Every structure is written in structure tokens, then in C-alpha cells.
Amino acid sequence: MVRMSAEERRESVVRAAMAEFARGGYYGTSTEAIAKRVGVSQPYLFRLFPGKKAIFLAAAERCVDDTVRMFREASEGLTGEAALHAMSGAYLTVITEHPEQLMMQMQMYLAVAAAEQEGDYEFGESVRTGWMRLWDTVHLPLGADVEATTNFLACGMLVNCLSAMGFPSGHRVWEGLYIAAGPVACGTAGGEAADGAAGPGE
């Protein structure tokens, strides 16, 4: 049996945490559930991370890292509308095939809102930093156009919400999204969603 290094085990914890937090959120997920998914004890988990918050923030950072990498790879060598369509298509593929990626994003935003009501701003600082990384990643391929970047990310957030609510492919909300935002703002989001991308509840 091959023994995993501490770094490999840490990576497995982050991946397991993404799946668990995506399903139950920060407050509804126990470290016991994460440890069980990885196959380690809770004491070992806390040898890798100082606490549940640190695990959540690591999972949130990894979620952003994955999304940034996906946008960069999709837009490589492209600019303007070509980059927009490529990034839109890649993102739809990810959230359709890996809905936990979408749900982890949504749980990140919810955790920020809940924590800051209690005076804890660490979540917000981390998630806002991640959001700005996403902004910068898509901003240059879109010609450093503030309006295009804003429209792209706004459309993406609407796609997130509709997908998270489980609107099935072919539902009229997808067509409405495409018509309202337009192909330049949404890229292929409305068209592809209407043709094949389903919400995680389908």
C-alpha cells in the first residue's frame, strides 16, 4: 500500500471539503463528515488544518483556482467575442458536469453574508480577493472592457442562480436570459443552456 504524503493528504482533504461544503454549506458541514470522506481521523485533519474555517477557506480558494484556470485555458490565444464564447462554453460544461463546483461558489457567497453579520470579515476578505482574481482573468481577454467584463460576470451569476434552482434544459428562462442579455454579453450561455445544460436538480 502506497502511503500518501502530508501534501497529498492535504489535497485530498481540500477536494473532499469542496464536495461536502458544496452540499451542506459552511454551517451545515461537520469536520467529521470531511474526515470520513477522506478516510482519516479528525485529529489528523486538524494536524493539516488549524480548524474548520481554514478548511473552508482552502476549499474556497481551490474553487476559485479551478475556475481561473478554466477561463485561462479556454481563452488562450483568443480575444474579444471569441474569448467570451470560449469562456462561456467552458464554464457551462464545468457546472453541468461538476455541479459541486457551482454549489461551492454559492456556498462561499452565503458564508460571507452570514459571517459578516456576526462581525467576522475573514470570509469576505478571502472570497472578495478570489472574485477579483476572476475579474482580472476575464478582463484582459475581453479587451480590458469594463462593460463587457461586468456583463459577462453578471450573466454568469444569473446562470449560477438558475442552475442552482434546478431549471431544466429547454425551460423558457434560458431563452429569456439569452434574449435579454444578448449573445455579446452572455456568449453562448443562453443558447447552450437552452439546448443542453441542465440545472443540478434535473
Residue range of the domain that includes 100: 56-195
Taking residue 59's Cβ as centre, other Cβ atoms within 10 Å add up to: 26
* SS3 annotation, 137-202: HHHCCCCCCHHHHHHHHHHHHHHHHHHHCCCCCCCHHHHHHHHHHHHHHHCCHHHHHHHCCCCCCC
Question: Rounded distance, CA 169 to CA 181, Å?
Answer: 18
- In total, how many domains does the chain have? 1
- One digit per residue, the tens of pLDDT, for the chain of length 202 reads 456 777 888 999 999 999 999 999 999 999 999 999 999 899 999 999 999 999 999 999 999 999 999 999 999 999 998 999 999 999 989 998 999 999 999 999 999 999 999 999 999 999 999 999 999 999 999 999 999 999 999 989 989 998 889 888 788 888 766 644 444 445 444 444 434 443 333 3
Q: Would 24 be classed as within a structural domain? A: no
Q: Would 128 be classed as within a structural domain? A: yes
Residues sharing a CB contact under 8 Å with residue 27, sequence separation 6 or more, in sequence order:
111, 114
Q: Would 31 be classed as within a structural domain? A: no
Which three cell numbers mark 12? 485530498
Instruction: Give the global pTM.
Output: 0.84
